[in-house]
Amino acid sequence: MIDPSLALQAAIRQRLATTSAVTALVPADAIFDRHGRPERFPCVLLGEGQTLYSHLWDTYADTVFADLHIWAEEPGLSGAKAIAGAIREALLDGALTVADHRVSDLAVASARFLRDPGGLHSHGILTVEALMQRAAA
């Protein structure tokens, strides 16, 4: 079984890459998992993750967090905020298909928007929170 954070990351990428409202703003092939500052704009980088493992054996449910980094080439923040809104709507549009797990609750917990010191790019960070249970074997 894979860690719930990796399962959630894969499901998020799949949902974003197949949602037309998102791909109208960010091409599907610009939604990826990689390190460093992007060379292509706009893009979404699947970033950091965290899993809080449950110790309750009878209700086994882990809390999983995933950060999504939005990058756009623009002097302001409106493009990054538009992408964030499209991502939020996409993630809340029905249950996610997640390998080896069931997502019983999912929310976009926070959004932060940052200006690039050079003035050429905007950067948004969405934090997704999910309650995940291991699928029955």
Element (H, E) at 132: strand 121-134
The pTM of the full predicted model, rounded to 2 decimals, is 0.92
CATH topology of domain 4-134: STM4215-like (3.30.2000)
* CA distances for 36 relative to 25, 39, 45, 47, 73, angstroms: 21, 9, 9, 10, 16
**Could you read off the pLDDT of 29-66 as tens digits, one per residue?**
999 998 877 889 999 999 899 999 887 666 678 999 99
**Could you read off the pLDDT of 14-37 as tens digits, one per residue?**
999 999 999 999 999 999 998 877
Distance in angstroms (rounded) separating the CA atoms of residues 64 and 136: 19
Distance in angstroms (rounded) separating the CA atoms of residues 99 and 36: 27
Q: How many CB atoms lie within 10 A of CB 51?
A: 18
Domains of the chain, by residue range, sit at 4-134
